[in-house]
Amino acid sequence: MTGAGGAGRYAPSPSGELHLGNLRTALIAWCFARSTGRRFLMRIEDLDRARDAGSGGAQLDDLERIGIDWDGVAVLQSERGADHERAIARLADAGLVYECTCTRRDILAAPSAPHAPPGAYPGTCRDLSEAERAAARARIAPRLPALRLRVPEGTVAPEFDDVLLGRVRGDIDDFVLRRGDGTVAYNLAVVVDDAAMGVDQIVRGDDLASSTPRQILLQRLLGLPSPPEVEYAHVPLVLGPSGARLAKRDGAVTLAELRRTGVDAATVRSWIAESLGLAAPGERVSAAQILDRFDPAALPREPWTWSPAATS
């Protein structure tokens, strides 16, 4: 699908250096955008103050080293708070927000509704009276209540056609919009920011596919573009030698670590291209060559298992 006028994006959380899996997803997102005439935008998702180690700058440097370019300056999600709050206020005005004082333990201990998906919010705080709500607030003070979406009665969980996964279905519950510590939740921020940035092509790891029905519901409730105007492609993850999702414990997996073992960024790019079927084993390819050869229909649908031995 061509998308002149639209935009793709990569939206890393700055919680450490990017590893091979992140770089691969970013390169795929870049190819998707550039091959369809879209702009490619960058957003650092730095809302999680507790976790974020402020590695956004280093991440951008690594993306450039791999050969990825983007339009304009990277957007910092932490600077978009006013828009996030406006969206929450809009939902609240429509009666679609309620306070929740449940702890994780409360949620686990509560009996779940019949047919509810595992881990779904059981609705404990959904229908409290004003007096009950005030008592609950007082009970948890100085902690503040979280805010949850009141999923309208009769809502059918949105389904969507993913470029790589095909038809995706998922469950939705009354998910969190703003945490008790004031941090706006990922699902809310990502929907508001993608729309504000004009993003109509979302390419990211397939671990996020199950969040997408929630995000589509929010798009609809906020009157923002949603599929089919917005295209989704969830990319298979990279696994480490143990078969689990690639992680720091798997050895040298970031550009800096690999550089210390004598592997340069161009070599890493070529490994990634080879894993995507876009380079022959050992062939050195530029980002432009990868883009030239890119064909979404031919992308692997299985995770790539990476091991140092397989690429050295």
The footprint of ligand GLU (CB under 6 A) covers 11-13, 45, 190, 204, 208
Residue 310 CA to residue 277 CA, distance in Å, equals 15
Tell me which residue has tokens 């979280």: 146
Counting DSSP H helices and E strands in the chain, the numbers are 11, 12
**Could you give the residue ranges of the DSSP H alpha helices within 156-243?**
186-196, 212-221
Alpha carbon of residue 193 to chain centroid: 12
Task: Report, in Å, the least distance between residue 56 CB and ligand GLU.
Answer: 11
- Shortest distance, position 77 Cβ to ligand GLU, whole Å: 8
Q: Which is nearer to ligand GLU, 180 or 205 (CB)?
A: 205
Residue closer to ligand GLU (CB basis): 70 or 98:
70
**Nearest CA among 6, 9, 1 for reference residue 203:** 9
Distance CA 182, CA 192 (A): 17
Q: Which is nearer to ligand GLU, 204 or 269 (CB)?
A: 204
Closest residue by beta carbon to ligand GLU: 204
Query: What's the min distance (Å) between Cβ of 17 and ligand GLU?
Result: 12
**Minimal distance, residue 10 CB to ligand GLU, in Å:** 7
Phi, psi values for residue 195, rounded to 5°: -65, -45
Min separation Cβ 257 and ligand GLU, Å? 19
- 32/98 with CB nearer ligand GLU: 32
Distance in Å, CB of 48 to ligand GLU, minimum: 9
Specify the residue, 100 or 272, whose C-beta has the smaller distance to ligand GLU.
272
- Quote the CA–CA distance of 46 and 186 in Å, as a whole number: 10
Cβ nearer to ligand GLU, comparing 13 with 201:
13
Closer residue to ligand GLU, CB minimum distance, 27 or 102: 27
Minimum CB–partner distance for residue 190 and ligand GLU (Å): 5
d(CA 87, CA 90): 5
- Spatial distance between the Cα atoms of 312 and 309, rounded to a whole number of angstroms: 5
Q: Name every residue whose Cβ is closer than 8 Å to that of residue 311 and which is 6 or more positions away in sequence.
A: 271
Q: Please enumerate in sequence order all residues whose Cβ is within 8 A of that of 253, keeping only pairs 6 or more positions apart, or say none.
A: 19, 20, 21, 240, 246, 247, 306
